[in-house]
A = this chain, B = another copy of it.
Amino acid sequence: MIRESYLYREIHEQPKILNDLLKQDPGDVERLALALDESGISHIVIAARGTSDNAARYAQYVLGALNGLTVALATPSLFSIYQKPPRFKDALVLGISQSGKSPDIVAVLAEARQQGALTAAITNRPGSHLARQADHVIELHAGEERSVAATKTYTSELAMIAVLSATLTGDDGLLSAVKAVPALVTGALAASEAAAQAALRWRDMDRCVVIGRGFNYATSFELALKLKELTYIVAEPYSSADFRHGPLAMIQRGFPVILAYLLCNQRPNC
């Protein structure tokens, strides 16, 4: 039954969509990277909601660690409630939205454009309101996403952020590493049955925490969001550093904790 759902189909479309996306002409990303380089911009403000906001969290770490950029997540309420937008002087303002329709995200880009700031959009809809406010549009080419829970557009957003980061470094090794991702996603999907088996143990859980850090801080947020949207359990994301700094108190034996970590070179946290 689950195999017939849009969600299941879209999850399994990811390797092909990522592969096709990474074979596209990278001209749009290269032009944005060039504009960033030439302007000497070192601050990025990202406007996004929900799943795309988690892609923004990934951007915060990857563009920080690999490109030395400081990345602020925009506070759309400054626009929608207080009508007091900040000054975007010397910043790139980047909107991330699958649909490109979210009015408060569009409002941030429109304000940035009016202030003369450099603007860009990462979206699945190049003809959207958001795209029309952007100097640079990076299209996701993910096809229509019919499930309410975003999957293939999330991983496509991450891929394009990684490509932007690698392009800015000029490091071909990084770009090759990104291009190896679709095959790794295929490998991860092959573990679906094992994951389903493991999930049986926890099918009655009504709350959990999800811990990640660094590049996988975004993963912990996105995993928690998916659990909430799809299973209605209370799942709260944390960085391991913040978790130790207080909330650890709420954990007792048997409390479900999900770790969103990548182990590489025998070192955690990388």
Contact with B along A65-86 (1 / 0, CB 8 A): 1101111110111101110111
Range of interface residues on chain A?
35 or more
Nearest chain B CB to A235's CB is how many angstroms away? 8
CB neighbours (8 Å) of A51 from chain B are: 246
Asked whether A69 lies within 8 Å of B49 as measured between CB atoms, the reply is no
Q: Find out whether the CB atom of A241 lies under 8 angstroms from the CB atom of B42.
A: no
Q: Are A70 and B43 in contact, with the CB atoms below 8 A?
A: yes
Q: Which residues of B contact A84 (CB under 8 A)?
A: 64-66, 68
Copies of this chain assembled into the complex:
2
User: How far apart are the CA atoms of A202 and B232 in the complex, in Å?
Assistant: 21
Residues of B with C-beta under 8 A to A195: none
23 A-B residue pairs with Cβ-Cβ distance under 8 Å, sorted by A, are: A43-B70, A43-B72, A51-B246, A61-B77, A61-B82, A65-B84, A68-B84, A70-B86, A70-B87, A71-B72, A71-B86, A72-B72, A77-B241, A81-B213, A81-B269, A206-B207, A207-B234, A209-B234, A228-B247, A232-B249, A232-B252, A234-B234, A234-B236
